[in-house]
Amino acid sequence: MIRIFKTNFSFKEYLPLFLLLCFSGNPIVTNGTYSKNLLIIYAVILSFIVFEYIGRKIPFPLLDRLAAVIVFIVVLSIFQQITLGFVSYKGVFALILKILVGLFTFLYYQHKKIDFLHVYIKLLAILVMVSIPFFILNQFVYGGINVSGGLQKSMILYTPFNPNYKYDGIRNAGMFWEPGAFSGYLLLALVFIIIKNGKLVIGQYKKEVLLIILGVITTLSTTGYVILGVIIIFYFWQRYKYGKFILLPLLIGIMSYAYLNLDFLNKKIKHQFLEAAQMKNGDVVVTRFGSFLMDLKYIKAKPLIGNGLDIKTRFRFDPSITKDDIGLSNGMSSIIAYWGIPFFMFWLYCVFKFAYTFSDSIKIALISLFLIVFLLQGETFLNFPLFLSFFVMPFSGKRMKIKKILQSKNIKIIN
């Protein structure tokens, strides 16, 4: 018997992925004036640890892909300097560092022969369990480290919101900057379950799936609810050959009733759509529809090289915008506006390659790609290391190929 991946994880084995998630939107890590320095320090420490463990054993295809990404970013930056007259070199450096942090994290797990998909799924389920008591307490109590001008604070493992600011009720943000972000990372865990199993089944993750669904429900995230509904429909369509003709209409009926009767779904979507439809030139609307329309004019202006990271070039058509982070909600249009269509298409290819490598199924890879792109419609996840890591994740493991070889030799694999 050959043991490919471990099943019992110690705190140290969870820690690198937990820290990656912290740098992917935990406000105590990403919202401070010290955030960029913290990113540099962590990247240096992590690189030292990884090279100490791995030495010269980093796969050449992985280095080739990393080099291609960095060269791509540098070339785009050069063209932005030539055509726009300015480039935020600090921003470019930070972007590369975020990709490196993701790379080093996955190299660590690969070297330890730990299935990082499994760790991610388990860790997100744990974060839900941690968040629920704080979420209930947050309905009555507001405390922690101030990170956002009175609207939210941080308790490191949970981000409380001010109960007096009930724009749509207190929602569960987990340890992230907003509930929609927590919802997105939870739904990514469901996508990883699909990829890991190679088909639309729950497999060994029944408890984790229940916790993750509970977590998504408590976020009251519009995009999260829609994507969860899509995943459930996919699941029932694939899982039940004949029962789907009874279960699917019932499920769609329940979802339709929820949409018509839950304000944060029906009224919120209608309001955001109408607000975006009534936008005039120069208006700043940071909802997902408004963000898309704002980004569209920048995408049309520089579709191939993007508009850069600095506010002077990125928002040059909107002089009323005076700060870098204005809370834009559409992660897909935002990244295209920053870096152009080819950059985003390259990322899409990497996501597909990653999903196909681990699932060994074109259908599952396409479904996963669709769901991950759908997640971007609600949050700017590509500003953070985890989603940027898809650039280098395709070569972080070849589990399915190893599995096929071992199965051909009648060797049992323990997941």
What is the pLDDT, as a whole number, of residue 242?
Answer: 62
What is the pLDDT, as a whole number, of residue 410?
Answer: 46
At 125-179, the pLDDT tens digits run 999 999 999 999 998 888 888 887 667 899 999 999 887 765 567 899 999 999 9
Low-confidence ranges of the chain (pLDDT < 50): 1-7, 276, 395-415
What is the pLDDT, as a whole number, of residue 233?
Answer: 84
∠145-34-98 over CA atoms, to 5°?
A: 110
Q: How far apart are CA 46 and CA 48, in angstroms?
A: 5
What's the whole-model pTM score? 0.87
What is the pLDDT, as a whole number, of residue 102?
Answer: 93
What is the pLDDT, as a whole number, of residue 406?
Answer: 38
What is the pLDDT, as a whole number, of residue 161?
Answer: 87
At 192-216, the pLDDT tens digits run 999 999 988 898 999 999 999 999 9
What is the pLDDT, as a whole number, of residue 330?
Answer: 81
